Amino acid sequence: MSVSASLLSRSALGFTLALGLAAAAQAQDMGVKWSGSPQFSNDDVAFKVRGRILLDAVFQDVERDGPGGDFDTRNVRGRQVFLGVEGKLNNYFAYKAEGGAVNNGNWAWDDVVIEYKPNEPVSILFGNIKAAGLENLTSTRFITFMDRGPYGDFGVDSYLLGVVAKYQGLNYSLTGAVQGAPINTVDVANAGADSKERIAITTRGHWAPVNTDTDKLHLALSYRYRNRGDEGAFTYTGRTNTAYTNGTTFYTSGGIGNRDNTIAFEGAFVHGPFSVQGEYASIDVTRQGGAAVGGDPKIKVGYAYVTFWPTGEMRNYDAMAGEFKRPKILNPVTAGGWGGVELALRYDIADTTEAYETLKTKPGTSQAGEYKGVTLGVNYYPTSYVRFQANYTDGDVDNFGANQDYTIKQFQLRAQLDF
């Protein structure tokens, strides 16, 4: 089945479910409210269709220190076109499933979750879930910049299939997760022998010691252990603050990791329309091949940024979950206003140099280098559910050996709607 046919069939299924519940609403006296799309509810039962459309244009001007010379790219692409459903069966069980076309590619699942709540502060989630990272846990629909940068590429794990347990207080949370590979990954093949998928064990704790109407302070610490199992070695490869790639690898450790341990720090402060946010991860890698190949390297990655809303909005921080949610636009165009504007400045760094420096036998050249990038961002929100974005990134890559360095100047645009 083609991607378009697959999307159409899933859209029809979601629409049919919505119509069925709408009809049932008359028989069961269900209530209906608007939450980006109609949400049907009856006491502790709820259901709604959800989705998103993210359309991008990406322009790159790359100066390459090496054979092949400079090049530039120009692409218009579908970053995400998703459709899904969410709801709850009662006060104990809830669900969410969403998937679609990603980066102009084939169908892939994103959120696929069954949630069990034995009591109010505790949640046990089964499915394709994120476990740690402030920007990682914040939905792509709500993050400040168009993409998460190298920190999102290898500083934290995105969606993984497994079980996640959470305990949430008024201004803190504790999370524990045991996960394997993403739900879209094929089974590990090892014919006639034992077969072991990768495994990740993650813990995260966050605390919001300041949580007033005008000021928010977020602090968090996480730890992750991973074992690659019978899958390929862990690779630490980053992009240049974009999800777009034309096949060029700018910096990478290569496949070096048999296991790794990650300590990560999160911090954010919001004061009215002003905010700062940053994360840093130190990844201790157990080298595949052991001491015969070289020592165990440490990979480092992080970012920091500042934002300001000249239209007076404030970033919407959830102190219980330790995440940022949908911004609330004060004067949307639907009420005769001008909408909301957010300005942002970001700095990223990714350092994979020890993957090269700890080798016993060093090749003449290597892309296990260091990336530094500065990104300017402007977001315009006509309403809380529609966003237009512009990002400009100026990045430099310093690799080992001659003809391995890059300078990247990148301009991106996005039109976004979600419901």
pLDDT at 8: 41
pLDDT at 139: 95
pLDDT at 285: 98
What φ, ψ does residue 354 adopt, rounded to 5°? -65, -20
Rounded distance, CA 123 to CA 89, Å? 15
Q: Are 201 and 225 contacting, i.e. CB atoms less than 8 angstroms apart?
A: yes
pLDDT at 27: 44
pLDDT at 31: 85
Reduced 3-state DSSP string for the chain? CCHHHHHHHHHHHHHHHHHHHHHHHHHHCCEEEECCCEEEEECCEEEEEEEEEEEEEEEEEEEEECCCCCEEEEEEEEEEEEEEEEEECCCCEEEEEEEEEECCCCEEEEEEEEEEEEECCEEEEEEEECCCCHHHHCCCCCCCCCCCHHHHHHHCCCCEEEEEEEEECCCEEEEEEEECCCCCCCCCCCCCCCCCCCEEEEEEEEEEEEECCCEEEEEEEEEEEEECCCCCCEEEEECCCCCCCCCCCCEEEEEEEEEEEEEEEEEEEEECCEEEEEEEEEEEEEECCHHHCECCCEEEEEEEEEEECCCCCCCCEECCCCEECCCCCCCCHHHCCCCEEEEEEEEEEEECCHHHHCECCCCCCEEEEEEEEEEEEEEEEEECCEEEEEEEEEEEEEEECCCCEEEEEEEEEEEEEEC
Question: Any bridge partners for residue 215, and if so which?
Answer: 271
Rounded distance, CA 171 to CA 207, Å? 6
pLDDT at 191: 61
How far is it between the farthest Cα atoms of the chain? Answer: 74
pLDDT at 28: 55
Return per-residue pLDDT of the chain as tens, 419 residues.
443 444 444 444 454 444 454 444 444 567 888 777 888 888 889 999 999 999 999 999 999 886 678 999 999 999 999 999 999 999 999 999 999 998 877 789 999 999 999 999 999 999 999 999 999 999 999 999 999 999 999 999 999 999 999 999 999 999 999 999 999 998 887 766 788 899 999 999 999 999 999 999 999 999 999 999 988 899 999 999 999 988 889 999 999 999 999 999 999 999 999 999 999 999 999 999 999 999 999 999 999 999 999 999 999 999 999 999 999 999 999 999 999 999 999 999 999 999 999 999 999 999 999 999 999 999 999 999 999 999 999 999 999 988 889 999 999 999 999 99
What φ, ψ does residue 338 adopt, rounded to 5°? -100, -5
CATH class assigned to 51-418: mainly beta
Question: Any bridge partners for residue 302, and if so which?
Answer: 280, 349
Q: Which amino acid is it at 267?
A: G
Domain borders along the chain are 51-418
